[in-house]
Amino acid sequence: MCGIVGAVSQRNIVPILLQGLQRLEYRGYDSCGVAVHQGGELKRARSTARVTELDAQVHQDGIEGFIGIAHTRWATHGAPAVHNAHPHFSHGVGADAQSSKAGRIALVHNGIIENHDELRAELQARGYVFNSQTDTEVIAHLVDSLYQHDLFEAVLQAIQRLKGAYAIAVFCREEPQRVIGARAGSPLVLGVGQGENFLASDAMALAGVTDQIVYLDEGDVVDLQQGKYWISGRKTEGGFARVERPVKTVHAHSGAAELGPYRHYMQKEIFEQPRAIGDTLEGIAGITPDLFGDDAYRVFQSIDKVLILACGTSYYSGCTAKYWLESIAKMPTQVEIASEYRYRDSVPDPKTLIVTISQSGETADTLAALKHARSLGMAQTLTICNVSTSAMVRECKLAYITRAGVEIGVASTKAFTSQLAGLFLLTLALAQSRGLLSEAEEAEHLKAMRHLPVALQAVLALEPQVIAWAEEFASKENALFLGRGLHYPIALEGALKLKEISYIHAEAYPAGELKHGPLALVTAQMPVVTIAPNDALLEKLKSNLQEVRARGGELYVFADGDTKIESGPGLHVIRMPEHYGPLSPILHVVPLQLLAYHTACARGTDVDKPRNLAKSVTVE
Ligand code: F6R
């Protein structure tokens, strides 16, 4: 998704800006650009190609400067095209539009401005000329229209006219010493260097430049100059006042992690799962609410239901956890897609624990759903999140930080299984706090959890068998995924993985639901992937498989060893190494990830950056 980098220094900051963009590249983008103050003018380069091409263009055009801003864009308003790429310049009014005064304000923006049509009409009526279809250009002109020799003041006034979400970085031709940043609804951090300061939408963009990071709060505006900065925060009674925000030492990893022997980051991340789960569970000697924060014991005593809010793959980990929470902790649990929950009328109950799940911790819909739940009086909040410095962790009372490490592939894999590990721990901690977990049960679950890395290695060893299936899947255009109970969300996740990276249309159903409609789709052309653990629903599932076979459907079954499901005509079986009780979803999802990955490779898609998608969805 969109990325911002900005800098004020005494050295040429273009290499820092471009490296920053490169570190954010993995999130997905369709155009990029950089602008600097050079020779009393605004200079910029923009491209719909990769950041490396932008780099070449910058060198060719001799673009250098001591202050500047840069951006990777993921199109929302206006097609991915050079004229829509950021930075946007304001173009002055009337005669100024054609004169050397053209290009006074340079601006980059993440987020969506909801009242951009209204502002555009107003600015056009005043003579501003628009060169793009973006909502961002509206902000550039708006700042220009309010500018009276103080950029900070102009930005303060401009943001009070904006409705929607934004993180912006702005500089002005007439003030070559400062860059102004502001945020509301989209993340922005300040990087403090030696005599130089930086802005970025993620601390990762500044890895290797500075580890001194200030996380700007909602509504903050920051004035960056050489060796100094000021932050203004929104006052509850309205207006702004100078505020101090803590500087944190953040060891952000560079997004450009080594690929090693792997072809893609997704493959690397699938194979990192034994390590990711091992790290996520490291040091856990026993189950205790303290794992989730100092106040967790009191919070757990005060709630009698759970509401999980998340998007995409993280939503499916929540759906899996519902089965655990209701069967092991006997805790009534509801799971909602964040973008739905935030806009619907619901019945709040203050005795609810709100659990958000997020890899990035910056997903706009999940953050908004959390705030919505809080505004309804549900104050007990907990997050399962992979980024300890994220807005989600800062916004929630309690947290469990998964240690999957930086996930670069857009399709989430190791973050998902690490979330499941965190959610299983939460289930056990809630069960314990309700007196539903005996010491023997605790010991048994802990033993199974500690064995997960080894069990995962055995599943990863199935890769050659999965590759053989993937070659057959590559020529298909549709696929069905079936699961029951605890494994129905895993079927959903398998279908999501296949569709997002191979572009094969895939749908998942609870196997028992087949005859209520989707069975009509089953022909010899329709591969039906089935998750067949040796659990209480196995016999029911076998009947569902018969229903598919009777209609000529081709079954591809991941079956636990002792299920007695054998390969035969129209029935392909890959045998899972061992049955894993309640933790079985963590193992069964792995061959589905591999199937999606190898099918996508066979179809030649851009596996790590699937079309139209972005990592870390910071807009609504
Ligand atoms: C799919 C995928 C997305 C994310 C979703 C939520 O592979 O990665 O569906 O799961 O955008 O993102 P986070 O977990 O960062 O909130």
pLDDT tens digits along 146-163: 999 999 999 999 999 999
> What is the number of the ligand 1 atom nearest to the C-alpha of 616?
15
358 lines ligand 1 (CB under 6 A): yes
Distance 615 CA to ligand 1 centre (A): 7
Q: Residue 26 pLDDT > 90, yes or no?
A: no
Boundary-marking domain end, from 218, 249, 280 = 249
Q: Residue 254 pLDDT > 60, yes or no?
A: no
Q: Residue 256 pLDDT > 70, yes or no?
A: no
Nearest CA to ligand 1 atom 9: 312
Lookup: tokens for 292: 């989730």
Q: What are the tens digits of pLDDT across the range 544-593?
A: 999 999 888 999 999 998 898 999 999 999 999 988 999 999 999 999 99
Rounded to an integer, the average pLDDT of 60-86 is 93
Q: What are the tens digits of pLDDT across the range 284-319?
A: 989 999 999 999 999 999 999 999 999 999 999 999
> What is the number of the ligand 1 atom nearest to the C-alpha of 313?
10
Distance 412 CA to ligand 1 centre (A): 6
Under 8 Å between Cβ of 494 and 541: no
Boundary-marking domain end, from 457, 490, 524 = 457
Nearest CA to ligand 1 atom 11: 312
Q: Tokens 């009534």, residue?
A: 332
Main-chain phi, psi angles of 303, to 5 degrees: -120, 155
The CATH number of the domain holding residue 597 is 3.40.50.10490
Residue 372 has a pLDDT of 97
Helix, strand, or coil here: 11? coil
Query: Does 287 lie in the same domain as 227?
Result: no
Query: Does 236 lie in the same domain as 292?
Result: no
Q: How confident is the model at residue 259 (pLDDT cuts 50, 70, 90)?
A: confident
Distance 437 CA to ligand 1 centre (A): 32
Q: Residue 252 pLDDT > 70, yes or no?
A: no
Distance 417 CA to ligand 1 centre (A): 13
Lookup: tokens for 19: 């490296």
- Is 611 part of any domain? no
Amino acid letter at 124? Q
Q: Best substitution site from 360, 370, 386, 615 to test ligand 1's pocket, by max atoms within 8 Å of Cβ?
A: 360
Query: Does 551 lie in the same domain as 434?
Result: no
Residue 439 has a pLDDT of 96
Structural domain harbouring 309? 265-457
Query: Does 522 lie in the same domain as 434?
Result: no
Query: Does 520 lie in the same domain as 404?
Result: no
> What does the buried/exposed string (b/e) look like for 476-502 if buried means 16 or more CB atoms within 10 Å of the residue's CB?
beebbbbbbbbbbbbbbbbbbbbbbbb
- Is 475 part of any domain? yes
Q: Counting beta carbons within 10 angstroms of the beta carbon of residue 261, is it exposed (0 to 12), middle (13 to 18) or buried (19 or more)?
A: exposed
Q: Residue 123 pLDDT > 90, yes or no?
A: yes
356 lines ligand 1 (CB under 6 A): no
Helix, strand, or coil here: 371? helix
Q: What are the tens digits of pLDDT across the range 6-15?
A: 999 999 999 9
Residue 292 has a pLDDT of 97
Q: What are the tens digits of pLDDT across the range 165-181?
A: 899 999 999 999 999 99
Write down the pTM of the prediction: 0.79
**Separation of alpha carbons 589 and 466, rounded Å:** 13
Orientation angle between helical segments 439-460 and 414-433, nearest 10 degrees: 170
The CATH number of the domain holding residue 211 is 3.60.20.10
What percent of the chain has pLDDT above 90? 83
Distance 313 CA to ligand 1 centre (A): 5
> What is the number of the ligand 1 atom nearest to the C-alpha of 315?
10
Q: Counting beta carbons within 10 angstroms of the beta carbon of residue 329, is it exposed (0 to 12), middle (13 to 18) or buried (19 or more)?
A: buried
Residue 198 has a pLDDT of 98
Q: What are the tens digits of pLDDT across the range 409-463?
A: 999 999 999 999 999 999 999 999 999 999 999 999 999 999 999 999 999 999 9
Q: How confident is the model at residue 100 (pLDDT cuts 50, 70, 90)?
A: very low
> What is the number of the ligand 1 atom nearest to the C-alpha of 415?
14
Distance 351 CA to ligand 1 centre (A): 28
Q: What are the tens digits of pLDDT across the range 101-111?
A: 568 999 999 98
- Is 71 part of any domain? yes
615 is a catalytic site residue: yes
Helix, strand, or coil here: 333? strand
Under 8 Å between Cβ of 407 and 413: yes
CA dist 489 → 79, 420, 620 (Å): 35, 12, 24
Helix, strand, or coil here: 143? helix
- Is 619 part of any domain? no
Q: Counting beta carbons within 10 angstroms of the beta carbon of residue 375, is it exposed (0 to 12), middle (13 to 18) or buried (19 or more)?
A: exposed
Q: What is the Cα 417 distance to its own chain's centre?
A: 15
Boundary-marking domain end, from 457, 473, 492 = 457
- Outline where DSSP puts E strands in 390-470: 398-401
**Separation of alpha carbons 103 and 93, rounded Å:** 11
**Separation of alpha carbons 440 and 296, rounded Å:** 23
Distance 321 CA to ligand 1 centre (A): 16
Rounded to an integer, the average pLDDT of 584-609 is 97
Under 8 Å between Cβ of 383 and 361: yes
530 lines ligand 1 (CB under 6 A): no
Task: Return the higher-pLDDT residue of 494 and 563.
Answer: 494
> What is the number of the ligand 1 atom nearest to the C-alpha of 413?
7
387 lines ligand 1 (CB under 6 A): no
Q: How many domains does the chain have?
A: 3
311 is a catalytic site residue: no
Query: Does 531 lie in the same domain as 450?
Result: no
Q: State the average pLDDT for the chain.
A: 93
617 lines ligand 1 (CB under 6 A): yes
314 lines ligand 1 (CB under 6 A): yes
Rounded to an integer, the average pLDDT of 355-383 is 97
360 lines ligand 1 (CB under 6 A): yes
Q: Residue 606 pLDDT > 80, yes or no?
A: yes
Q: Residue 47 pLDDT > 80, yes or no?
A: yes
605: left (phi over 0), alpha (psi -120 to 50) or beta: beta
Query: Does 540 lie in the same domain as 428?
Result: no
Query: Does 307 lie in the same domain as 323?
Result: yes
> What is the number of the ligand 1 atom nearest to the C-alpha of 497?
7
- Is 257 part of any domain? no
What percent of the chain has pLDDT above 70? 97
